[in-house]
């Protein structure tokens, strides 16, 4: 199992590093833009056409730096960059073997298909989620450069919440990859679904039914106030477990 994990992790290393650097660069840029954003919030409020973005400005006016950082780092950065990383790194987790006709070689090893899937999924989750925590923790120090302060507990809880959300997207990608014969199909399908959900979030009246409504500014404001959304996080984890269990069963039955 260790050799299997090491081999798969080696193939993801540079992609993971690039993902982390992009996430970090976007976060640093957002932090240093904060003073200008804060000073121009009243003027921006008159120009924003979308209710969801108006909510952000309202939250910033009410609570200052925390909602601004939450939207920039977790809502925008981790969810969208994380989605791209999941699609790019995870779509071929099984489908690549079918696409390149190497599945029989992979599953000829003295390990079960279930073990292969679990190890690869664990490595993928590690590659996606660790940069979320590292980037968020580094923001605690970078925020001091603009005379702002991020609480450790709230930052780690918010990172854990978005990690549960991303884990659900990972599980969905793995499930579709198990069903696919083309290595990019799973990523394209997941990206398409999530982008449609994001477009839905921008339409007033149906925005509350969007996936992004579960990670909006008000959710992170509650986390900042000490109210962690355990039910939603549990739903994310429950959906992840269900999709991964289904993926394992389908992989066991799949013929090559």
Q: How far apart are CA 159 and CA 88, in angstroms?
A: 22
pLDDT at residue 3 tops 90: no
For residue 140, what are the contacts with CB-CB under 8 A and spacing of at least 6?
150, 152, 155
Q: How far apart are CA 153 and CA 158, in angstroms?
A: 9
The three-point CA angle 18-24-30 to 5° equals: 140
Of these ranges, 59-73, 104-118, 153-167, 202-216, the one predicted with the greatest mean pLDDT is 153-167
Q: How far apart are CA 31 and CA 25, in angstroms?
A: 10
Q: How far apart are CA 185 and CA 246, in angstroms?
A: 18
Rounded to the nearest angstrom, the gap between the alpha carbon of residue 246 and the centroid of all alpha carbons in its chain is 21
User: Between residues 130 and 177, which one has the greater pLDDT?
Assistant: 130
Q: What is the mean pLDDT of residues 177-197?
A: 85
pLDDT digits (tens, 9 = 90+) for 13-51: 999 999 999 999 999 999 999 888 877 765 555 545 556
Predicted confidence at residue 2, as pLDDT, reads: 77
pLDDT digits (tens, 9 = 90+) for 101-155: 766 666 666 778 888 899 999 999 999 999 999 999 999 999 999 999 999 999 9
Q: How far apart are CA 62 and CA 184, in angstroms?
A: 43
The domain ranges of the chain are 2-253
Q: How far apart are CA 146 and CA 149, in angstroms?
A: 9
Cα–Cα nearest to 234, from 159, 168, 154 = 168
CB 66 within 8 A of CB 150: yes
Lowest mean pLDDT, pick from 32-46, 86-100, 161-175: 32-46
Give the burial class of 13: count Cβ atoms within 10 A of its Cβ; 0-12 exposed, 13-18 middle, 19 or more buried: exposed
88's torsion region: left (phi>0), alpha (psi -120 to 50) or beta? alpha
Predicted confidence at residue 43, as pLDDT, reads: 56
Looking at residue 145, the DSSP 8-state letter turns out to be G
Longest Cα–Cα distance in the chain: 64
- The pTM for the full model equals 0.90
Predicted confidence at residue 54, as pLDDT, reads: 65
What average pLDDT does the structure give for the chain? 87
Q: What is the mean pLDDT of residues 192-199?
A: 87
Q: How far apart are CA 236 and CA 214, in angstroms?
A: 10
Helix (H, G, I), strand (E, B) or coil at 37: helix
Cα–Cα nearest to 128, from 172, 179, 95 = 172
């Amino acid at each position: 199992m260790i050799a299997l994990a090491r081999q798969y992790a080696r193939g993801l290393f540079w992609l993971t590093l690039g993902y982390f650097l992009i996430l970090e660069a976007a976060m640093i840029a957002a932090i240093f833009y904060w003073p200008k954003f804060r000073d121009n919030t009243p003027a921006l409020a008159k120009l924003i056409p979308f209710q969801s973005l108006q909510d952000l400005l309202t939250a910033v006016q009410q609570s200052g730096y925390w909602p601004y950082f939450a939207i920039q780092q977790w809502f925008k950065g981790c969810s969208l960059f994380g989605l791209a990383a999941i699609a790019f790194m995870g779509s071929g987790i099984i489908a690549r073997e079918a696409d390149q006709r190497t599945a029989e070689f992979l599953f000829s090893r003295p390990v079960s298909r279930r073990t292969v899937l679990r190890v690869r999924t664990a490595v993928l989750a590690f590659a996606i989620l660790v940069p979320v925590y590292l980037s968020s923790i580094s923001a605690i120090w970078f925020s001091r450069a603009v005379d702002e302060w991020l609480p450790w507990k709230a930052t780690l809880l918010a990172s854990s919440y978005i990690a549960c959300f991303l884990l659900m997207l990972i599980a969905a990608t793995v499930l579709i990859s198990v069903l696919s014969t083309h290595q990019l199909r799973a990523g394209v399908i997941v990206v398409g679904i999530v982008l449609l959900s994001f477009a839905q979030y921008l339409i007033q009246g149906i925005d509350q039914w969007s996936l992004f409504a579960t990670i909006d500014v008000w959710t992170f404001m509650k986390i900042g106030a000490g109210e962690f959304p355990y039910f939603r996080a549990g739903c994310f984890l429950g959906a992840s477990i269900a999709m991964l269990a289904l993926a394992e069963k389908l992989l066991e039955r799949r013929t090559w």
